Amino acid sequence: MGDQGFHIQACWDFGQDERPPHPVIYVQISPIAKQSFKRIICKVDTGFNGVLSLSDEVVKDLGLKPYGTILATTATNMVEVPIYRVLLTQEELKIRMRHITALGTRRSLAGRMLLANNQWLLDFVSNKLCLLTP
């Protein structure tokens, strides 16, 4: 980072549904055809090279229909998962109405491609994920 100063633009509290708590980020998604957005919480997964994965519950709530499947490599094996096209909005990251391919998984995850091109602070003292700006 050099000697350049950074400012905190936005922070999200860690999710408390697991122990230890984990970083999360909020996004809004919608089926492409409907544009009826739903706010969801995604666990930040820096080991996931994709943009977004959606839990079965979110897929059901939005009435998403898969347009195919893909073979995904997990930490323990390879699995075939459905893929969905959605619109995504994330205010702090300035992402709006972007067509995304989201994987269907057992939990909603934000991957490295969603977090790319930004600088982040993981604060394990305060249990926060913060977006930094120069």
Q: For the chain, list the domains and their CATH numbers.
A: 30-133 (2.40.70.10)
Distances (CA, A) of 131 to 8, 11, 15, 64: 6, 6, 16, 30
Q: pLDDT at residue 3 above 80? A: no
pLDDT for 1 equals 46
Confidence of residue 134 (pLDDT cuts 50, 70, 90): confident
Please answer whether residues 81 and 103 qualify as being in contact, where contact means their C-beta atoms are separated by less than 8 angstroms: yes
Q: pLDDT at residue 121 above 90? A: yes
**pLDDT tens for each residue of 19-36:** 889 999 999 999 988 878
**pLDDT tens for each residue of 73-109:** 877 889 899 999 999 999 888 888 778 899 999 899 9
Q: Is 114 helix (H, G, I), strand (E, B) or coil?
A: helix
| Distance from C-alpha of 37 to C-alpha of 53, rounded to nearest angstrom | 16
| Distance from C-alpha of 128 to C-alpha of 89, rounded to nearest angstrom | 21
Q: In terms of Cα–Cα distance, which of 114, 124, 46, 50 is closest to 84?
A: 50
Q: In terms of Cα–Cα distance, which of 106, 108, 119, 132 is closest to 9?
A: 132
